Amino acid sequence: MEKVKVGIVGLGRLGRQHAENLAYRIPNCELAAVCSVIEAEVKEAQEKWNVPYGYLKYEDMLDNKELDAIFIASPSGFHCQQIKQALEAGFHVFSEKPLGLYLEEAEEVQEVVEAHPNQVFMLGFMRRYDRSYAAAKEKIEQGHIGEPIFIRCYGLDPAAQLDSFLQFAKSNYSGGLFLDMAIHDLDLARWYLKTEPKEVWAIGGGYARSEFDEIQDAETGAAMVRFENNAMGVFLAGRNCAHGYHIETEIIGTKGSLRIGTVPERNQIVIMSETGVVQECVAGFLERFEQAYLSEVEEFVNCILENRRPSVTVEDGVESTRLGYACKKSFETKQLVDVTKDKVTFQ
């Protein structure tokens, strides 16, 4: 195979970015098919990126045996079903996060992935491919901060998009703040600390917008996690960040600490004027993680061509879903949740 022929499902905010990367920015890849339930999106994508096949039904795209791989960027509630269908139809599969909204469905997907060992499966935890996050991993592995014992993460969406997030939260497709937003940080915690979560206590509310309370979701929420090796994690997620898109991570070790993204600056410009000293903030995920979205797709395509497996595994998807789901349950029940391997139970 000289070029990997990919079909993508979901042409929304992120799907369009992935489609453009697949169509133009990866030399050994061809975007051969697009699928969405919205006809106008399919037509627009076909014209814009010169894509030969367009589908309104996912199953019809899976019947196209010219394709090698399926790329899933549909709403989160569809991921598990669409991953299983694509694997069973013989395709390599990339799926956006989260793997699933419920632990049972995520575990079912794991079984299907493991039953198809010759097909590449990759999950979109793109932060692991971001240069700064990847460099931090190397520094930790090289021992620069000793043994990591604490991780603090901020995952804050811009307040300017609060209304659209409220609609999204009401849609039933999001899985709630912790599974949708904090999931990246929960994955990073497992990756950096190399341990699994033991118990979690999550709180939050609709502080600026009480509508979030009505739908039992948090506009801003915090989770505190104890890991099996007694390391600690504090995760703040939110939809109401006044200054823009703020993704920050701090890891404290026995011999030092490191931080990523403490000032979420858009670029290196500092404007000094009568209003003060100002650095603009990055506006959203597409801008902050532009390089990571491209790098993760390159890795997926190269894994197929070189018959390798990506470092992000289906187990990472299951374990992050287990923790994200436990955060959601703790938030909803106001109880400490036991999140050890075989159970998510209340104490």
Positions that interact with ligand NAI (CB under 6 A): 9-15, 35-38, 41, 58, 73-76, 78, 96-97, 124, 126, 180, 285
User: Which residue's CB is nearer to ligand NAI, number 231 or number 303?
Assistant: 303
Q: Minimum distance from CB of 245 to ligand NAI (Å)?
A: 11
- Cβ distance to ligand NAI smaller for residue 1 or 40: 40
Query: Secondary structure of the chain in the HEC alphabet?
Result: CCCEEEEEECCCHHHHHHHHHHHHHCCCEEEEEEECCCHHHHHHHHHHHCCCEEECCHHHHHCCCCCCEEEECCCHHHHHHHHHHHHHCCCEEEECCCCCCCHHHHHHHHHHHHCCCCCCEEECCHHHHCHHHHHHHHHHHCCCCCCEEEEEEEEEEEHHHHHHHHHHHHCCCCCCHHHHHHHHHHHHHHHHHCCCEEEEEEEEECCCCCHHHHCCCCCEEEEEEEECCCCEEEEEEEEEECCCCEEEEEEEECCCEEEECCCCECCCCCEEECCEEECCECCCHHHHCHHHHHHHHHHHHHHHHHCCCCCCCHHHHHHHHHHHHHHHHHHHHCCCEECCCCCCEEC
Q: Is 201 or 245 the residue whose CB approaches ligand NAI more closely? A: 245
Nearest residue (CB) to ligand NAI, 106 versus 252: 106
Minimum Å distance from CB 39 to ligand NAI? 10
Min separation Cβ 286 and ligand NAI, Å: 8
The distance of closest approach from Cβ of residue 186 to ligand NAI in the complex, given in angstroms and rounded to an integer, is: 13
What residue number has its CB nearest to ligand NAI? 12
Cβ closest to ligand NAI, residue 22 vs residue 231: 22
What's the min distance (Å) between Cβ of 184 and ligand NAI? Answer: 7
Compute the least distance from the CB of residue 3 to ligand NAI, in Å. Answer: 24
Nearer Cβ to ligand NAI, position 9 or 337? 9
